[in-house]
Amino acid sequence: MNTHVEKAPDKQHTRHSAQEERSQSESDLGFADNRSESVRQRQLQNMANNATQSPLISQLQRMSNGQTSALNNSTLQLKDDNTGSTPQAFCIDQPHSGELAAFCGYYALCNYMGKELDLEAFRKIVYTQYSELGLPEDELPAFVAQMGTGMEGIAVNNYGFAESSDAKSGIAKGRFMAATNRYGGHWLTYIKDDSGNWWEYDSWLGDPSSIGSAAQLQEQLKTDGMSNIYYK
């Protein structure tokens, strides 16, 4: 099961955007201009200690400090998004805040299918599986936002995907979803184009990016800590 937390809705992923978000957060929480800087810094530090930050913002902070961009022992490799033609024009964006920030499995499924699926129908499946485990109905939204949708079982039981810990099965099909440890737990979709080049569809970033050969794809999956792949 993937674990996700509320993430910041900046789509450009720039240091400037991250700084604006921090300033807005201070304003929303009622920091007054006449408070001392030391008080402001202590409160911000307490916030950071009590909440998990957006993985992309954390990555930017590490980069600004001259450190590596490893995320949970998984390095996000930046790719050239303009390499060749994408095999599929459709690529859905995932919100970076609220409950839907935990729905990466749904967005990976949409990218796999090449179209936007019924979100309410998917949410009903998610809530039903947790209700059957005894979770109270009023706790479902908060639980899903924190723990994820439980996409592994949904992919197999509700959408008819085969599951494998070996990426070769999905590579042979030319299209598959993968459960990985990127960002601390994230689902992605991979599609091969007519020339044999593999493309990654990451709903968190919103645009497909070129991976390269099957060997390069397998290396990327290893880097991202892939647990299983799902294919038809």
For residues 179 and 212, give the distance between their C-alpha atoms in angstroms, rounded to a whole number: 20
pLDDT of residue 162: 98
Distance set, CA 229 to CA 101, 139, 195, 202 (Å): 21, 30, 22, 15
Domains and CATH numbers, the chain: 1-232 (3.90.70)
In angstroms and rounded to an integer, the radius of gyration of the C-alpha atoms of the chain is 19
For residues 23 and 37, give the distance between their C-alpha atoms in angstroms, rounded to a whole number: 13
By DSSP bridging, strand 208-212 and strand 198-201 are antiparallel
Where does residue 12 fall: left (phi above 0), alpha (psi -120 to 50 degrees), or beta otherwise?
alpha
Strand intervals (E) in the chain: 70-71, 74-75, 162-164, 175-180, 186-192, 198-201, 208-212, 228-231
The distance of Cα 128 from the centroid of its chain, to the nearest Å, equals 23
Residue 26 has pLDDT above 80, yes or no: no
Average pLDDT for 69-93? 60
Please state at what angle helix 119-131 crosses helix 104-113, rounded to 10 degrees: 130
Mean pLDDT check: name the lowest of 45-54, 100-109, 194-203: 45-54
Q: Give the residue with greater pLDDT, 99 vs 7.
A: 99
| Cβ–Cβ < 8 Å for 103, 94 | yes
Residue 7 has pLDDT above 50, yes or no: no
- Global pTM value: 0.66
Q: How confident is the model at residue 31 (pLDDT cuts 50, 70, 90)?
A: very low
For 113, half-sphere exposure in the C-beta direction (CA atoms, 13 angstrom radius) is 15
